[in-house]
Amino acid sequence: MPQPKVKLVVTGDDFGYCERRNQGIVDCFRAGGISNVSLLVNAVSAKHAADLAKRYHIPIGLHANLSEGLPVSQELKGSTLLNKDGFFHGKMGFREVLHSGQLKMSEVEAELRAQVDRFFELIGHMPYHMDGHQHVHVLPDVREVFAQVLSDFGITYTRVPIEPGLRFCNFLPSHLREFNAQVEKDALESVEVFHRNGIRWPDVYLGLSTMVQQCSEQLLPTGYGRAHGASRISQSTSAGWMRRRTGRLFTVHRSTT
């Protein structure tokens, strides 16, 4: 009996991080290794990335960033989103400030809207999808604001990082297993919020168990095996030039069956 077709969408995250990564992501796209990209509009090479996306007609979404670098909004001086030096608090720092109750959701909303506006300025159209750098979009309170912003701008696709069989990935270091478990918990609690706002997402997400050092040709097939039965799979990856000395191009192998 023929097997049902499965659509695999492979997204190259952090587009705009630097010119070398941008070029590696483009090379992956042109080689057929990734399907689309997610742009960091506050990154130093965002304009370079945007120009490449337009040149090579790469489907592109917004990788909303509230945790690294400088804000896009010009109205956040002294904001709870920023540290004393004017930068975002970092991956764990953002979560600590949020959990302390000090983070103002009005400032989160202002920055998200500014990043959507900046995306439009760079690309010339609205993002095809929008998710959060380091999964901040599924965090408590943030997810409500995030969903409202998507709804207001008519952006209907996001990412819900719930990965089948993640608890069995014992090859991951303990600190990553703990972090990933919390991400999945937050993601599960985001489902009702996103659904209420008419936002859609693929059946299955892969990427928590294959972030950066864990992403390999040996581990990827195990992830696809855990996604058995899904009709649409979303795989995120930090595609690009991973090893400067050897010039090795990292790509994700795609399958449609």
Kindly list the catalytic residues: 13
DSSP 154: T
Alpha helices in the chain (DSSP H): 19-30, 46-56, 91-99, 105-123, 142-153, 174-196, 220-226
Q: Residue 170: what are its φ and ψ, rounded to 5°?
A: -75, -5
Q: Are 58 and 99 in contact (CB under 8 A)?
A: no
Q: Which amino acid is at 216?
A: S
Q: Are 127 and 63 in contact (CB under 8 A)?
A: no
The arrangement of strands across the sheet holding 60-64 comes to 130-132, 60-64, 36-39, 7-15, 232-237, 204-206
Q: Which amino acid is at 62?
A: L
Q: Are 20 and 242 in contact (CB under 8 A)?
A: no
Cα-based distances in Å from 254 to 9, 84, 157, 186: 8, 44, 21, 28
DSSP 210: T
Tell me the two tokens of residue 226: 């855990």
Cα 153 from chain centre: 18
Q: Are 37 and 15 in contact (CB under 8 A)?
A: yes
